[in-house]
């Protein structure tokens, strides 16, 4: 477990503070709430992406373990920035010779038939599934998912959730969404308002 006494995130003209956040060492931790509620700001603070963020821990060893975990992090956002002139396979393996795409995941994400096509020809849903496959292929210790289902159909959401849930058996996944019904399959679910 990681216990944060406070997570502070600042932007010009805006300061947010989240209190008493407890994260598990592994599993899917779900943060939900309305648009503009500060969910994305919180994960930016947790991931140490915001230069004005500050993390206050209950114990020093939690701080050491957390920043060690962040050395191997990955993100999936609502919109993707793939190299569109490259194939899906090239996007996944870019700069890495030590990884291999999992054939089961490739099939489950319904990308097997198009993985060697240029990403510029993909639909938005295919690009989103490619982003999810890419991060699972790279096997981060912590994965931040910010509205990852935004352009997926119900069948793709179901399969993606199943793959994410399986991956979370050995990793921490922080999932942000508007949907409170994610609580049916995640380990822990919390409303952003409970942290403000």
Round to whole Å and give the CA distance between 119 and 126.
Answer: 9
What CATH number is associated with residue 182?
Answer: 3.40.50.300
Integer Rg of the chain from CA: 17
Domain containing 124 equals: 2-194
Q: What is the DSSP letter of 141?
A: S
Low-confidence ranges of the chain (pLDDT < 70): none
What pLDDT, on a 0 to 100 scale, did the predictor assign at position 31?
Answer: 94
Please tell me the predicted confidence (pLDDT) of residue 15: 87
The predicted pLDDT at position 14 comes to: 83
pTM: 0.92
pLDDT given for residue 71 in this prediction? 95
**pLDDT attached to residue 158:** 93
Number of separate domains in the chain? 1
Closest CA to 137 of 111, 112, 103: 103
pLDDT digits (tens, 9 = 90+) for 160-172: 999 999 999 999 9
What's the confidence (pLDDT) of residue 144? 97
Q: Tell me what pLDDT residue 163 has.
A: 96
């Amino acid at each position: 477990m990681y216990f944060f006494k406070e997570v502070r995130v600042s932007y010009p003209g805006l300061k947010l503070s989240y209190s008493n956040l407890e994260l598990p060492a592994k599993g899917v931790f779900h943060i939900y709430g309305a648009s503009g509620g500060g969910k994305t700001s919180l994960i930016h603070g947790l991931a140490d992406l915001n230069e004005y963020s500050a993390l206050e821990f209950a114990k020093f060893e939690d701080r050491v373990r957390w920043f060690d975990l962040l050395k191997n992090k990955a993100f999936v956002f609502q919109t993707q920035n793939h190299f569109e002139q490259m194939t899906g396979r090239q996007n996944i393996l870019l700069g890495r010779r030590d990884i291999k795409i999992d054939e089961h995941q490739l099939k489950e994400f319904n990308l097997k038939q198009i993985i060697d096509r240029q990403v510029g020809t993909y639909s938005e849903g295919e690009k989103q599934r490619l982003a999810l496959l890419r991060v699972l292929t790279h096997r981060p210790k912590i994965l931040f998912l910010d509205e990852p289902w935004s352009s997926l159909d119900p069948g793709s959401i179901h399969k993606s959730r199943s793959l994410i849930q399986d991956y979370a058996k050995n990793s921490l996944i922080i999932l942000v969404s508007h949907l409170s019904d994610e609580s049916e399959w995640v380990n822990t679910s919390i409303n952003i308002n409970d942290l403000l």
